[in-house]
Chain A
Amino acid sequence: DTGVSQDPRHKITKRGQNVTFRCDPISEHNRLYWYRQTLGQGPEFLTYFQNEAQLEKSRLLSDRFSAERPKGSFSTLEIQRTEQGDSAMYLCASSLVYTGLAAYEQYFGPGTRLTVT
Chain B
Amino acid sequence: AQSVTQLDSQVPVFEEAPVELRCNYSSSVSVYLFWYVQYPNQGLQLLLKYLSGSTLVKGINGFEAEFNKSQTSFHLRKPSVHISDTAEYFCAVTVMFRGSNYKLTFGKGTLLTVNP
* Interface of A toward B, CB cutoff 8 Å: 4, 6, 31, 33, 35, 40-45, 48, 55-56, 91, 93, 95, 97, 102, 104-111, 113
- Report yes or no: A43 in contact with B103, Cβ–Cβ below 8 A: no
- Report yes or no: B102 in contact with A108, Cβ–Cβ below 8 A: no
**Is B116 in contact with chain A by the CB < 8 A criterion?**
no
Partner of A45, one of B41, B42, B105: B105
Scan B100-116; emit 1 where CB is below 8 A from any A CB, else 0.
11111111110000000
- Report yes or no: B102 in contact with A95, Cβ–Cβ below 8 A: yes
- Report yes or no: B92 in contact with A4, Cβ–Cβ below 8 A: no
Q: Which residues from chain A contact B34 at a C-beta distance below 8 Å? A: 104-105
Q: Which residues from chain A contact B49 at a C-beta distance below 8 Å? A: 104-105
- Report yes or no: A44 in contact with B43, Cβ–Cβ below 8 A: no
> Which residue on chain A has the smallest CB distance to residue B32?
A104
- Report yes or no: B51 in contact with A104, Cβ–Cβ below 8 A: yes
- Report yes or no: B108 in contact with A42, Cβ–Cβ below 8 A: yes
- Report yes or no: A45 in contact with B102, Cβ–Cβ below 8 A: no
Closest CB of chain B to A106's CB: distance in Å? 6
